[in-house]
Amino acid sequence: MHFKRIFFLWLSLVFAFPDGARAQDDPPLSSGLQSLIEELAASREGGIDYQYIVEDLQELFHQPLNINQADAETLGRLHMLTPYQIQSLIRYRERYGPLLSIYELPVVFGFTIRLAQQMKPFITVAPSRLQRQQPLLGLAGLIGNSRKHLILRSGQTLERQKGYVGPDPTYPGSPLRVYSQLGLKYHNRFRLGATLDKDPGETFLRADNPWGFDFHSIHLFVQNVRWMDKLAVGDYDIRYGQGLVAWSGLAFSKSSMVLNLARHAATIDPYTSANENDFFRGVAIEKKWLPLTVSLFYSGKHIDANLQDTTPSGAKVFSSFQQSGYHRLAGELFDERSLREQVVGGSVAYNKGRMKLALNGIHYAYDGLMIREPRPENAYRFSGRSNSNLSLDYRLSLNRLYFFGEQAWSMGEGLAWLNGVHGRLTPGVGLCLLHRYYERDYQALYAAAFAEGPRPQNEQGIYLGMEAEIRGGLFLRAYMDTWRFPWLTHASATPSTGWDGLIQLDYTPTKHSMMYLRFQRKSSSGSRVDADSGLMMARETRRSKLRYHFRYPLAAHLVSDTRMEYVYARSDDLSQGVMLCQDIGFHPGRMPLRFDIRFALFHTDDYESRIYAYEDDLLYVFSIPPYYSRGYRTYLNLKYSAGQADFWLKLARTGYADRQIIGSGWNEIQGSHKTTLYMQMRLRF
């Protein structure tokens, strides 16, 4: 036994972790993960679905991971370790043998006490032994012995929206959103579930939805059955390499978790979300012949597309894919499931020690012809009936460095490269460097790799991220990303460039209090065509954000979160915004009731200086409304647990001081406030 190891073990015992997190019954989202999700949502229009993360965490919360025998893929399910840290832990185990206690974790190179605290609810430390395979019991036995859950969620906006008003309303359905999910899980070997969803305004059990819900999804997933290592039937996710070819579901990019860029995910996962587009439907299998892993999938489904005319020969022509998932208006219903999509793909991975090399391919075809609007920025985007992508991805862990990357081809078109390195310079300082080069004609419709633009195409850039532990409890994180779009984009009528920088100071003075100060600035320069003169004008946009967040325990089980944010945006005009936000959370360890309250005031010049803020929400639900204009936002979020049933209620209101009409189009509300009420029930049996 190394002396150093014993010393650190003793040292970390002195800084013993807070206990009792497991007394609550839902996993606490770590603050890092929380801000990751928040930033992700801020960078995208509409909501995001992070359910698979919560599910992974929940699963680990009830059946903690033994970090002495978890492999890299399983450690990835913690969603809080970088690939570098995973490799570092594996190397530590190889070198010194199994960990003796959870308190040994901070000794592993690249780990901190804080990280170990965040991991604690989800892991155990047990002697490493051969993994005990849970026997499959036959269908009846499986159903009898599995853990099951049923979630029912429903809610709506209480004010009348324009689309629901009148004797013959534009939206045919009720404003109620109804969601339900049933899931069965037998250890990690068997999963079966169904998700049903009806969006506001969609019909239920009538008209075009005679079967009830507008969206149905079923998944079946088994592991290690007969000769297959994984089999997914129904809806599933595919995630290859760094996402240059195929990546469905949530894909993290730039955030205050500045080192989290290297992707590492299971190639096949069952799909359990309610997003109506971003998944595959069919069959996927995986088989291991060590060191080779082969996976194949086929997916066929009808998707929404903006249908145009037909060609003289009678073929369908469409101009874009519809991603909203709403099927309420006549136009939306016309486009609903109007196009048949078929995707086939596969991957062959070679895993040996610290190296992984994989060849990935995907081919997709539609039963219609895509013809985009003839605008210059569309010149190199996908059109036609089908396309293929092929890529080679690698990971290599060398001493203190972790290399990752993917090189991809689009059939007959452009190339894309992504290469990165991530490592620790000293125990307290981590660095991540990423270079990407996506040609303007690299077309990959199922890709979701690191990119500033909406897709990995027409972009080149360099990202540098750094994290330093200045002293105990004080962290500095920063990143700087610079890029260039060599061809025109939606936002610029000429090639454009830009940069994005973030610097954040995190301070954790005591175990339960935390604060951070963050400054972020994004600048891009391109040009636009002036509407009056028809001349090309240079255009520069800048957006700076300054945020201070402070969490402090007011009393036992009573937590206060205070946030101040200032936004300064300059494009054609100057726009400024400010928000003050106070949250109170009551989270008793043993009482069945818990609640969160928020009151926020915001004042922004316009939508340009909008401010996003994380909201504590119903389990699995995540939407961050942008705060803009002048007004307040308040909510009450209650949770009550009674045995195997949990109930949630969320009542939220946004009120405006400077407007009498909210929203636009058919969602317009006559009035100065918008109120939403949601209820959720979960049964576990």
Q: How many whole angstroms separate alpha carbon 574 and alpha carbon 594?
A: 42
Residue 589's CB is within 10 A of a number of other CB atoms, namely 12
CB of 610 to another protein, least distance (A): 25
Please answer whether residues 343 and 301 qualify as being in contact, where contact means their C-beta atoms are separated by less than 8 angstroms.
no
Buried (b) or exposed (e) across 56-80, using 16+ Cβ within 10 A? Answer: bbbbbbeebbbbbebebebbbbbbb
Rank residues 67 and 434 by Cβ distance to another protein and give the closer one: 434
**According to CB under 8 A, which one of 462, 505, 515, 580 is a site residue for another protein?**
462
CB of 497 to another protein, least distance (A): 4
Rank residues 480 and 683 by Cβ distance to another protein and give the closer one: 480
Q: Tell me the HSE value of 440 on the side-chain side, using a 13 A CA sphere.
A: 13
Per-residue x/- marks for another protein, 638-677, CB under 8 A? ----------------------------------------
Please answer whether residues 469 and 503 qualify as being in contact, where contact means their C-beta atoms are separated by less than 8 angstroms.
no
Residue 83: cis peptide before it, omega within 30 degrees of 0: no
Q: How many whole angstroms separate alpha carbon 347 and alpha carbon 246?
A: 10
Rank residues 204 and 519 by Cβ distance to another protein and give the closer one: 519
Query: Tokens in use for 82?
Result: 């970088």
Q: How many whole angstroms separate alpha carbon 519 and alpha carbon 658?
A: 29
Q: What is the DSSP letter of 163?
A: G
Per-residue x/- marks for another protein, 376-415, CB under 8 A? ----------------------------------------
Per-residue x/- marks for another protein, 315-354, CB under 8 A? ----------------------------------------
Helices then strands, counting H and E runs in the chain, come out as 8, 31
Q: Which helix (H) or strand (E) holds 334?
A: helix 330-335
Per-residue x/- marks for another protein, 70-109, CB under 8 A? ----------------------------------------
| Number of residues in the chain | 685
Please answer whether residues 214 and 412 qualify as being in contact, where contact means their C-beta atoms are separated by less than 8 angstroms.
no
CB of 425 to another protein, least distance (A): 5
Query: Tokens in use for 672?
Result: 């100065």
Q: Which helix (H) or strand (E) holds 149?
A: strand 147-157
Rounded to the nearest 5 percent, the helix, strand and coil shares of the chain are 15, 50, 35
Nearest to 49 by CA among 343, 457, 323: 323
Distance (Å) of CA 575 to CA 498, 528, 571, 659: 20, 19, 8, 18
Give the binding range for another protein (CB under 8 A) out of 118-126, 234-242, 339-347, 482-490: 482-490
CA angle 541, 40, 491 (to 5 degrees): 30
Considering CB under 8 A, how many residues would be counted as binding another protein?
Answer: 22
Per-residue x/- marks for another protein, 512-551, CB under 8 A? -----------x----------------------------
Q: How many whole angstroms separate alpha carbon 608 and alpha carbon 610?
A: 6
**According to CB under 8 A, which one of 136, 143, 415, 468 is a site residue for another protein?**
468
Report if residue 461 touches another protein, rule: CB under 8 A.
yes
CB of 433 to another protein, least distance (A): 7
Report if residue 480 touches another protein, rule: CB under 8 A.
yes
Report if residue 484 touches another protein, rule: CB under 8 A.
yes
CB of 498 to another protein, least distance (A): 8
Per-residue x/- marks for another protein, 492-511, CB under 8 A? ---x-x-x-x----------
Per-residue x/- marks for another protein, 411-450, CB under 8 A? --------------xx-xx-x-x-----------------
Rank residues 468 and 683 by Cβ distance to another protein and give the closer one: 468
Rank residues 298 and 519 by Cβ distance to another protein and give the closer one: 519
Rank residues 387 and 524 by Cβ distance to another protein and give the closer one: 524
CB of 660 to another protein, least distance (A): 42
List residues near another protein by CB under 8 A: 425-426, 428-429, 431, 433, 460-462, 464, 466, 468, 478, 480, 482-484, 495, 497, 499, 501, 523
